[in-house]
Chain A
Amino acid sequence: MKIVTPSPSRFRPTSAIDQSILVENQALLEKISRRGILRGAASLGALTMLTGCDVTNRDSVQDVLRAMSSWNDRVQAILFDPNKLAPTYSEADVVRPPRFNAFYPIEDVKPVDRASWRLELGGLIADKRPWTFSRIAGLSVQSLVIKHICVEGWSYIGQWSGPNFRVFLERIGADISAKYVAFRCADGYTSSIDMASALHPQTILATQYAGEDLTAPFGAPLRLRTSIKLGFKNPKWITAIEVTNNYPGGYWEDRGYNWYSGL
């Protein structure tokens, strides 16, 4: 091959680039440019489409995430073994005081007066008369030394005592074939659990921690404590309980947290 040199330069190559390799591999090159690039574009295109929908169409992404979360609710309900007990620990491992958590800081806790406190009942319950604390205190007490596991990842061992929730539900004539048990709290917090978890032997209405009456920050006078749900499914300062077949949601549940949240 002949090349024309406009000016003599030390840096200019004396011969042109060898083109024979291109000619030799022409078939291969054509194959790459036709099929390979197309195929490559397809997978790269899939990638951009995925990130694209995140940016441009947030509603549909949120719909998918919510649908997956309710799918996870169903899977967890299937995985749940109503007879399987959570591990219990020795009283020596109990942390005092328990760890505070709420959707506001501990300074903002408004104590609930035990004497004037009433527990309202609603929904599929035969005997809806409100309960006073002294009536609750008259029920037989069950004690649990169990681990509290928060959705954030922290955990501690605590000792909780109070009436067994199943015994309480049967006592008030609740329809235990209903789907949900919902809770309303003095601070406006709400939550709900499935009936199977409500009937679990380690689900109680706690009135005591480490053998003493509950203090204000930890849910006095009455809170739910269950060994088989994350911390936020254990509402504090309960003022009303409802048994229902309509999905009740809850404070965090309505903010994208998984509803079932079983351990």
Chain B
Amino acid sequence: MQMADTARPRPVRRLHPGPVRVMHWINAIMILIMIGSGFKIYENQPIFSWIRFPSFLLIGGDPEVAFKYDSDPGFGGALQWHFMAMWFVVINGLAYLTYGFATGRLRRKMFPIKPREVSETIREALRFRLSHDDITVYNGVQKLLYIGIILVVIVQVMSGLAIWKPVQFSLLIDLFRNFETARFVHFLGMSAICLFLAVHVTLALVAPRTLLAMITGGPPVNESPQTPAVATPHAGRENKDEDSDAVSLSVPSDKRD
């Protein structure tokens, strides 16, 4: 191998590569637009009379603007926002999945998810002894949540397409049983995304380094085969697994250089 060649230093690989950061923030903005405009659309015809959303959370609902442009309290505007942001969510999401599969990042970061690791993380969290020493390695709960939210968004897009085009995409309607159940699944998906957001944003604020890492790229990721795994008190074994995984994956990229 050409590891002896140290004249030209390789660019440092960071926890979150540029494309991931860009896609993360595009997604963050567009998902918030989807939720806010979705709330406004829901408010026009609530599924449950006891679940209502306060007006400050609604998007496309500024009555002043809506009356000026649409002579309507903003429901048409909310639909416009929703059907604009959907393109960004879907295209950005497909780009993220393509990038994640092509670079092996998804497999490297999210797998394997071991039940023992998950229960251990939960036990540590309950004892307030959760380790944040190494933010480059996701713990079991993180892996589970991130994979979970990706699946929820996929189902959310499918139920959204189903209620947008119930005749043209009748197969999707059949998948969710009928129009009404598809609409309910779309509501449940929104609820799950909001729950995830609450946890995700809270944890990012509890450990601001992780939030900063999504802006600056975060700490360098160790992918050199010669450096031994850095053992941290809580993620010792798993960390080693991760690193050996990273080694095998970093070899082809070395050769490409």
Contacts and interface: CB of A to CB of B under 8 A. Distances in A.
Given A44-B215, A65-B80, A68-B80, A87 B170 contact: yes
A151 B80 CA distance: 12
Contact of A68 (B47, B84, B167, B212): B84
Interface residues of B, number: 37
Nearest to B81: A65
B78 to A, nearest CB: 9
A256 B70 contact: yes
B234 interface: no
B45 A150 contact: yes
A149 B44 contact: no
A19 interface: no
A99 to B, nearest CB: 11
A53 interface: no
Interface in A186-232: 227-228
Interface in A128-156: 147, 149-155
Given A87-B170, A149-B179, A154-B45, A262 B84 contact: no
A168 interface: no
A227 B183 CA distance: 18
B29 interface: yes
29 contacts: A36-B215, A36-B217, A40-B212, A43-B22, A46-B25, A47-B29, A50-B29, A62-B65, A64-B84, A65-B80, A66-B80, A68-B83, A68-B84, A68-B87, A69-B80, A76-B165, A80-B168, A87-B170, A147-B179, A149-B166, A149-B179, A150-B45, A151-B79, A152-B44, A255-B71, A255-B72, A256-B66, A256-B76, A256-B77
Interface of B: 21-22, 25, 29, 41-42, 44-45, 47, 65-66, 69-72, 75-77, 79-81, 83-84, 87, 163, 165-168, 170, 179-180, 183, 212, 215-217
Interface of A: 32, 35-36, 39-40, 43-44, 46-47, 50, 58, 62, 64-66, 68-69, 72, 76, 79-81, 84, 86-87, 147, 149-155, 227-228, 252, 255-258, 262-263
